[in-house]
Amino acid sequence: MGLDYLSTLSDSTDKNAILSDLMERYGDDVWNYAFFLTSRFDQADDIFQDVFLKVYRSMFSFRGESSVKTWLLAITRNVAKDHRKSAWARRVLLMATIRRTETASSTEKEVLSRMVNGDIWKAVMDLPEKLREALLLYAHHQLTVPEIASMLNISQGTVKSRIHRARAKVPAMLKDQLTD
C-alpha cells in the first residue's frame, strides 16, 4: 500500500518524483523539527538528508496508518535520537551554534516584535524536553493529539497533560524573565 498511497500525493509512481514531492511539501517541517531537536544548523542539515535517504529506501514500508507528515516527523525524531547516540556525537566537542543574521529595516515596532518573539522562543526552548516536544508538535507542526501520542508512544492523556503544562509554564517563565 505504501507506494500506492504515496504515488497519489505525486502524479507519478516514480520514486524519485515522489521523493522530490515529499521534500518540497514537507522539507521545511522536517528541517525545522530537526533543528528544534538539535539546536544546530549543521546537525539539522545532516538529519534532514538522513531522513530523506531513509524515506527513499523505505518508501514501500509506508502503510498509511498516519499522515505522511506524522510519518516523516517520526523518522526525523528517530534519526535525531540515533545521531545523539552515535559515537561521533559523544566524542566530538562541537562549536557553539552560530546565529544567522538578517538585515531588515530597524523600526521600533519590528525590534520590539523580534524581542518578544525571541523571549517566547527562549522560554519554549527552556521547557523540559518532554513538554517542549509535545508543544512544538502540536502548535508548530499542527499534529493532532492522537498523532502525537502515536509518534511519541504515550497515551493521549499524557500528550494533553504535557501540552497543558507547557502552555502554563511559558507565561510564568516570561514573567520571571521580565522581573530579572
CB atoms within 10 A of CB 34: 26
pLDDT at 140: 82
Angle at 57 between CA 67 and CA 91, to 5 degrees: 100
Which pLDDT does position 101 carry in this prediction?
Answer: 45
For 34-58, write each residue's pLDDT tens digit: 988 887 888 899 999 999 999 998 8
Among 27-31, 35-39, 100-104, the minimum mean pLDDT is found in 100-104
pTM above 0.85, yes or no: no
Tell me the average pLDDT of the chain.
78
Q: How confident is the model at residue 125 (pLDDT cuts 50, 70, 90)?
A: confident
pLDDT in tens, 61-86: 787 788 889 999 999 999 998 887 77
Beta strands (DSSP E) in 49-94 are none
Backbone angles phi, psi at 41, to 5 degrees: -65, -45
The pLDDT assigned to 95 comes to 38
> Of the spans 5-14, 99-108, 158-167, which averages the highest pLDDT?
158-167
What do you get for the CA distance between the two ends of the chain, in Å? 56
pLDDT of residue 102 exceeding 70, the answer is no
* Pairwise CA distance, residues 138 & 171, whole Å: 17
DSSP string, 128-172: -HHHHHHHIIIIIS---HHHHHHHHTS-HHHHHHHHHHHHHHHHH
Q: How many helices, marked H, and strands, marked E, lie in the chain?
A: 9, 0
Residue percentage of the chain with pLDDT more than 70: 73
